[in-house]
Chain A
Amino acid sequence: MEELLIKALDYGLSLGASYVEVRWQRDSGSAAGLRNGQFEFAVSYSSQGIAVRAVAEGGLGFAATPRLALEDVFSAVERAVKLAKAAGRARKRPVQLSEERLGRFSYSLPDIALDPMVLAKTLDEYAAKDLTVRRFYVNIWTTEKRVLTSDGADVYSKIPRLYVFGMFIKHEPSLGSLQRDIFLGGTSADSVLGAEKVVEEESRKVSTLLEKARSIMPGRYDVVFAPEMTGILVHESIGHPFELDRIYGREGAEAGESYLTPGNLRVKIGSDLVNITDYPALPGTYGFYLVDEEGVVARPKQLVRSGWASEFITNRQYAAVLGVHSNAGARASAFDREPIPRMSNTYLEPGDWRPEEIIRDTRRGVYVVSYTEWNINDTRYSGRYGIFEGYLIENGELKQPIKGFIEVDTPELWGNVDAVGRDFQLFVGTCGKGNPSQGVPVTMGGPTFRSRNLRVVP
């Protein structure tokens, strides 16, 4: 493999490319699904091939082949260089990449010795049996990559991952209907330790909340967000808009752009208590990696510091636009996908409040534990988050379970933060972006926090 990849690099340079990057990637594993306790499917899979990215005559070209014979890989190299040159003719500014100290090492994590169907069946045993719908989907796989670049990177990685999705619906015509989705996972079997308890508790809540939760009176409330909420808020309203390719319009027709603009990057987006970080190298996490697809070694990205936008998720191309170094944000979900700036593990940094102190300190508010439906506009400014589990807070005490939606603009959400907890938890997600679409494993989370005077509607 090494000889093949080196020959591909050399061949790309000989064709006139100024930069060539070659990545072999293999994703192999097995998945299983259960539908209302019954077998739905079991699948084994293996996907592998070689991706080639080239910069030539000012343009960027990408080609991928599932065939590993030298002639097929050379054909992919030829296509990447040819497409780069064609793209270059239609550019006003040539593509450039930042200069980096690049990784030259290998790393591997131990395999996950679990069977997806066995795990799905085990979890299903803990799910409430009065549900109308209960579905489980479990995927366990290993991603191996070898990345070589013409400017010196050479990195091999082997990372296993485990992903669990559970869907619970209770449909009772006299009461209505309620759905809860859960996502669990990581890079080791330890990531599902305690999953039975999560399934048991969350599936039972569906019936309880369907019966007891009441629509909230519309109005402004001080909202205390538990870590699951912190995660989705951080991911959608900070992580995505801090991706530099979005800010510079590359995703404009698809995943969208950003409320940050090239001429107005260093804005105050939150209160002084808001510090938000993206860090791939957290051990065991679903978003874990040590080196990105361009050979850049991962480090914490300090996206927001004391409320100010301070750093952006980038690859080498957009780092060069800003005149900074890449912070190792380039990720590709499969061998046939182009590396683009992505999140990994994104979180609000903890503060010094105990979570229960924040609730006690809130006179009239809402404590939101978890969410259902959510979405945000494509510049990531206007968000809506449905409450799955939430409670009124009156004079510092949790009261009636409520249902409703928080509809909030990003500057208001983070600008009104006045208390940040010392607790911390990350939640699993699959982040979608890019064309063709790429779902990459991520986590998101942080501590409990409070944002004052937000709009909550039934």
Chain B
Amino acid sequence: MILKILQRHVDEAVVVKTRVRNYMVRFANDEITAFKSWDVENTHIYLAKGRKTAFLSATGTPDLAQIEAAVKRLDALLEDPLYVPVGGPQPPTRRESAEDFEKLPDLVKAAIDAAEGVQRSAGVVHLTYVEAEYEDSTGRAGQYAVNRIYMAMRSFLGELSATSATAGRHIADIKAEKLGEENSRLLSLAKGLPQTRIQPTRADLLLSPLVFGHLVGEVVHFWTNGSEVVANSSRYTREDVGRPVASEVLTVVEKTYDESAYGHVPFDLEGVQPRPVEIYEKGVLGGFIHTKRTAHALGMEPTGHAIYSWARSAPGHVEIAPGEGPADLEALLTDLRNGFYIHNNWYTRYQNVKTGQFSTVGRDVALEVRDGKPTAVVKYLRIADTMENVVKNIAELSRETRHVYWWDMPVPATAPYAVVRGIAVTT
């Protein structure tokens, strides 16, 4: 109905209706602080008249006045230099049933109970059921319904803390007990060690999947993103594709297409089915994520990454291929030999997004490692370097990966542990 109205006023239109049902249990000090349920229903509309484009978003269904105002506004706009016609292959249709949110408190209890030897735990479990319907003025149409869930828990022991996180597409993917067990294990490793601070230096680092996934997600978001390349704010240009730009042990694939990935969507706002994007293949820059618009501007193929907006491409889920290193933390510390283990990080900020000069603050236990053994807990450790050094100085990746997501991760990730050499740290 909306599409028919729109077609009377504009040359092209896309209508995407979304309904997102959210269920979240938050807990702290081993008790539930809030149990939340919220629904969001929106209609997202793309309008094009000649080469002028605009978007409209409204809760429920927009009324005629909102549509007319958006059309009127369209006439006054500048032409869109990235304009491309609506069209392409049919988006797929796939639906799955909503999962049962009443099971969520059981996951919380299981995780808390498994965290032996800790004083208290805080965390969240968030179940989302996303439904979307797409139709456009060329007659393309599709719909999907998918579940996704993540759980994160931080356990405390005095001044020490440890965070574990897991993510998946179904409640059955969440092994809540493992979160408690992992926190318990890390805290027992750190318990009793002296606490210290460091002077600014360069050091070898062992990064957990949470940290390594976070940093690679930042790189994908800011540097291998068609929108940023078009804006000239990326470190990379079109000409860098095919060049060695990272460590040979680094292979990264954008996995929004993968039905098992937390960040999976069957199609984006342009009705394009996401496809695998080889971001890095053994250190060689493979390509960028794109909307149809950014792909056309750079003479590349669309990748189905107009996930949140028609204006900007965004990654949905990154996967870093495992390496040949050990899967066990203690064995990885042995491989690191001397340096620091950083278990989690947050508050990543850039001095300059183009050069990738950044710092990020370690949180939870950071360990000083000497001769392969933890010797101290380092307080307030920061990585303060460039993203270029991070991706170039990777020496080893663990042979196992984790499917992780939590509140401060820029992109959901499937990531291994990583040993990265010669990275600047401070406190």
Contacts and interface: CB of A to CB of B under 8 A. Distances in A.
Interface of A: 30, 33, 35-36, 38-49, 51, 59-67, 76, 79-80, 83-84, 86-87, 89-93, 115, 117, 121, 132-133, 135, 167, 169, 171, 176-179, 218, 248-256, 336-338, 372-378, 381-382, 384, 386, 405, 407, 435-437, 457
Given A135-B231, A378-B363, A169 B31 contact: no
User: Which 10 pairs from chain A and chain B are nearest by CB?
Assistant: A252-B122, A41-B311, A83-B35, A382-B380, A64-B38, A375-B347, A373-B351, A39-B78, A43-B55, A253-B122
Contact of B359 (A35, A117, A384): A384
B347 A133 contact: no
Interface string B112-141: 000000001011101000000000000000
Contacts of B231: 35-36, 133, 135
Given A249-B122, A435-B26, 20 more contacts: A39-B77, A39-B80, A44-B55, A46-B57, A46-B58, A59-B35, A61-B34, A66-B60, A87-B33, A90-B27, A117-B76, A133-B233, A167-B233, A169-B353, A218-B200, A252-B28, A336-B39, A375-B347, A375-B359, A384-B382
B354 A65 contact: no
A28 to B, nearest CB: 8
A87 B58 CA distance: 32
Contact of B105 (A86, A386, A457): A86
A407 B352 CA distance: 18
B35 A44 contact: no
Interface string B37-49: 1111110000000
Contacts of B122: 249-253
Of A80, A92, A169, chain B has the most CB atoms within 10 Å of the CB of A169
9 contacts: A39-B80, A40-B311, A41-B311, A46-B58, A61-B37, A90-B32, A253-B122, A253-B123, A384-B384
Contacts of A457: 200, 426
B29 A117 contact: no
Contact of B59 (A47, A384, A405): A47
A83 B23 CA distance: 10
Given A43-B56, A44-B56, A254-B408, A384 B426 contact: yes
B22 interface: yes
Contact of B29 (A44, A249, A374): A249
A178 B120 CA distance: 44
A253 B407 contact: yes
B57 A44 contact: yes
B313 interface: no
B298 to A, nearest CB: 14
Contact of A253 (B59, B154, B349): B154
A436 B36 CA distance: 10
Interface string B355-374: 10111111100000000000
B28 A249 contact: yes
Contacts of A256: 346, 363
B174 interface: no
A178 B31 contact: no
A437 B124 CA distance: 13
Contact of B349 (A49, A84, A133, A373): A373
B352 A179 contact: yes
B267 to A, nearest CB: 20
B202 to A, nearest CB: 14
A377 B408 CA distance: 13
A378 B74 CA distance: 44
A372 B39 contact: no
A58 to B, nearest CB: 10
Contact of B360 (A38, A61, A89, A375): A375
